[in-house]
Structure 1
Amino acid sequence: MKFDLHTHHDRCGHASGKINDYIVSAIDAGFQVIGISDHSPYFAHEQDQPQPGIAMARSDFPNYIAEVLRLKEKYKDRIEVLLGVESDFYIDQIELYRKSYEPYPFDYIIGSVHQTRGISIFNRNRWNGKTEAEQIDEKKHYYELIRESANSGLFQVLGHIDAMKGYFPLFANITGAEAEIDETLKAVAANDISIEINTSGKTKYCGGWYPSDSLLERALHFGVDVTFGSDAHVPDRVGDEWDIVQKRLQEIGFKRWVFFRQKHKIIVPL
């Protein structure tokens, strides 16, 4: 069974194509399951759409849900369409986000840390002038937030858990945060959720998946489940490198991966 839980579309402002285009792409690629998971609105902001190039308008969120559910029904005989969302994680806003999602029948919610200390993890300049000790502290803080997201009870999938390396590949080589990483992986396992193998890292400076093989090996050690997400922002990236990821997980020693239906874990043998 082939599945992809992480796709975007034009509502977020930085992806192209309609939801329908991603579903058709998944069908053409021989997938049985496709998850739609566009970026959540900024629920706490006073403006309806403070950053049109990053996330959808708050007022458009019900329309997004309705469209996915309509397409789920339309394509039910050809592919299973799952209702998801990629949610920002702000520790001080978690209850507002939880309340905002409650009315809707999500199959899963991806929790992603996109900002730390108010700065995007993809900001190319955030590392300028930082000492070795400051770099270690930034990495520790990042994984502390991811651990908090795992413990929040809101998410079924944690998105791209080493994406700070996206435009700063040396992030992967910063040592000194191993304890924080291990505690984060233990939290994922304890909460019976998953991390994704996200193949969009190949489109960034780091040129590889999130997370790295070393993190995946640690995840296996702690009994963490994994899932697959292309993080496609164009329809023809749906399922990108699925077969290669499957093979690599087998080589590392994983026996299964998972997806979620109505927030219940569905196990798929590798």
Structure 2
Amino acid sequence: MTSIIFDLHSHHDRCGHAEGKIEDYIQAAIDRGLHYIGISDHSPYFYADEDQLHPGIAMAKSELNNYVKEVLSLKEKYQDKIHVLLGMESDYFPEYEALYKEKYKQYPFDYIIGSVHFVHGKSIFQRGRWDNLSKQERLEEKESYYRLIQQSAKSGMFQVLGHIDAMKGFLLDFHDEKTPIIDETLKVIADEGVAIEVNTSGKNKDCGGWYPSHEILERAYYYGVDISFGSDSHVPSRIGDDYKEVQETLRQIGFKEMVYFVNKKRHNVLL
């Protein structure tokens, strides 16, 4: 286990809300001395009748083949300079789990990041989504979010779970609603052998900082959850953002390693 620098979470213009081409992110990763760069754009909405249900959120269904071909081509082109990994950040919808599984098994993904972006049909990033809710209703909303994360961990679809407290992005009192469900969720994740990422993109939301919170990372350590890393870059300049700081924070908590995935096999990086 050598000192590897990796970033498993990056986007590009295909999703409709990121800047730059895949190659721009790869070149940025090379410039920053990364050994592995994962390309993990947002999954299409496979269940929709429309080819591109939300053009500003995720790629069209018809673009998936092109996406995979492009990543695999660039993997070969840059093989002497960096390891390019084929990933995807996948939404998790329990009612469409079988459909998504069927789609993903057709492609040679190195890993898939499972992210809950919608609870009760609303985006977790919707500003003010619980401004008019009572304290009890807020608690129920938060617990619904974590029950979906638990289901995603148990689905067998994912190697990494994305930004597991991202609902705090524009809900600054998210962590004020105390509930044992976060501990329950971390235990499920540990039992299922799925990793969570430290995602440094929270700095671009109102909450600032990283996902998940330091407190959740400490609890993750207690339960023995594997930790991966993703900048969640939507611009090439954020590739590898805060990687060293994340490593140092994890060391201070007590973690001895981080993990990344190649061909869905877990690899360790000593901290």
User: TM > 0.5 between the two?
Assistant: yes
Q: AA paired with 2:65?
A: P
1:194 partnered with 2:187? no
1:60-89 deviation line (CA, Å, top 9, x unaligned):
100000000000011111000000000000
1:147 partnered with 2:147? no
Q: AA paired with 1:185?
A: L
1:222-245 deviation line (CA, Å, top 9, x unaligned):
000000000000000000010111
Among 54, 57, 62, the residue aligned to 1:59: 62
Q: AA paired with 1:113?
A: V
Q: Which runs of no fewer than 5 residues in structure 2 stay unpaired?
A: none
Q: AA paired with 1:106?
A: F
1:126-168 deviation line (CA, Å, top 9, x unaligned):
1121111111111111100000000000000000000000011
Stretches of 4+ moved more than 2 A in 1?
Answer: none
SS at match of 2:212: coil
Equivalence map 1:138-217=2 (5 Å): 138-175=141-178, 177-178=179-180, 180-217=181-218
Report the number of matched residues. Answer: 268
Considering only aligned residues, what root-mean-square deviation do their CA atoms show, in Å? 0.6
SS at match of 1:169: coil
Q: AA paired with 2:228?
A: T
1:41 partnered with 2:44? yes
SS at match of 1:142: helix
Structure 2 partner of 1:236: 237
Distance across 1 between alignment mates of 2:176 and 2:84: 38
Distance across 1 between alignment mates of 2:184 and 2:62: 37
1:94 partnered with 2:97? yes
Distance across 1 between alignment mates of 2:88 and 2:237: 20
SS at match of 2:53: coil
- The percent of aligned pairs where both chains have the same amino acid is 58
- CA deviation after TM superposition for structure 1 residue 125, in Å: 2.4
Distance across 1 between alignment mates of 2:261 and 2:193: 12
Among 63, 69, 73, the residue aligned to 2:72: 69
Distance across 2 between alignment mates of 1:138 and 1:227: 27
Checking the alignment, whether the CA contact within 8 Å between 2:128 and 2:170 is kept in structure 1 is no
Q: AA paired with 1:255?
A: K
Among 108, 119, 122, the residue aligned to 2:122: 119
Q: AA paired with 2:174?
A: F
Distance across 1 between alignment mates of 2:176 and 2:255: 24
- CA deviation after TM superposition for structure 1 residue 50, in Å: 1.3
SS at match of 1:141: helix
Equivalence map 1:245-264=2 (5 Å): 245-264=246-265
- CA deviation after TM superposition for structure 1 residue 172, in Å: 1.6
Checking the alignment, whether the CA contact within 8 Å between 2:6 and 2:37 is kept in structure 1 is yes
Q: AA paired with 1:241?
A: D
1:227 partnered with 2:228? yes
Distance across 2 between alignment mates of 1:182 and 1:172: 13
- CA deviation after TM superposition for structure 1 residue 111, in Å: 0.3
Distance across 2 between alignment mates of 1:102 and 1:131: 42
Distance across 1 between alignment mates of 2:245 and 2:156: 31
Structure 2 partner of 1:136: 139
TM-score by structure 1 length?
0.98
- CA deviation after TM superposition for structure 1 residue 49, in Å: 0.3
Equivalence map 1:70-85=2 (5 Å): 70-85=73-88
Distance across 2 between alignment mates of 1:214 and 1:120: 24
